[in-house]
Amino acid sequence: MMGYYILIGVIMLVSWYVGHKLKTKFKKYSKVHLENGMSGAEIARKMLEDNGIYDVKVISTPGQLTDHYDPQKKTVNLSEGVYAQRNAAAAAVAAHECGHAVQHAKAYSWLKMRSNLVPMVSIASKYSQFVIMGGIILMVMNLAGVGQTVLLIGIVMFGLGTLFSFITLPVEYDASNRALAWLKTENIVTPQEYEGSKDSLKWAARTYVVAAVGSLATLLYFVGIFLGRD
């Protein structure tokens, strides 16, 4: 199990670094005020309208970096630091979340695939670690046959979460690309503001990359245990 703890430690360290850089970038670009004076909420509403989307509401949600698009309620939820702020970071986040709304409106295939996996992944992710550990314990107790079966079930459950994290990558990158293209094409931001928005979204995307790679590394570790005992 020592190898598992080392792996988790490395993943946590890399995740912390990327998360720290993200917060640092957002703090930096929160000081780059938009020349057009638009708030995050105003930018979000304009992007939705420019894409012919009129059935999605833009609302404020508590917390920091809690921004998200809810396809069920059709709401673009912007954190307090984005909704009312008028800077490059707020512009990037607001446009990015609207990018998801545009994906939804245009039936973007990767978003549809991710949405279809949500019910299964929510259950699998909640219990997979317990099932895997249960399988390993049974194997240690000389109940190899039962333990391997339980471990394999846990690996499949964990694999669903890993698959979900990789499907999330094109969804997030596409939303950012849509956001940046709109910000530039519609002249919502100046060249300097655009670079700040682009850099902010780049580091936001890297958090998803780290999560996906970390999940894959952990999955391969568990597969290694299964194969080593088989």
Residues acting as catalytic residues: 97
Q: Which of 89, 93, 92 is nearest to 78 (CA)?
A: 93
What lies within 8 Å, CB to CB, of 98 at 6+ separation is 44, 47, 48, 51, 69, 76, 179
Report yes or no: 75 and 69 within 8 Å, Cβ to Cβ: yes
Tokens of 207: 């958090």
Q: If 0-12 CB within 10 Å is exposed, 13-18 middle and 19+ buried, where does residue 201 land?
A: buried
Tokens of 63: 């917390």
Q: Which of 111, 92, 97, 88 is nearest to 57 (CA)?
A: 97
Name the DSSP class of 72: T
Q: Which of 202, 196, 201 is nearest to 31 (CA)?
A: 196
Assign residue 52 a region: left if phi > 0, alpha if psi is -120 to 50, beta otherwise? Answer: left
Report yes or no: 61 and 78 within 8 Å, Cβ to Cβ: yes
What is the chain's alpha carbon radius of gyration, rounded to the nearest angstrom?
A: 21
Q: Which of 148, 172, 158, 140 is nearest to 220 (CA)?
A: 158
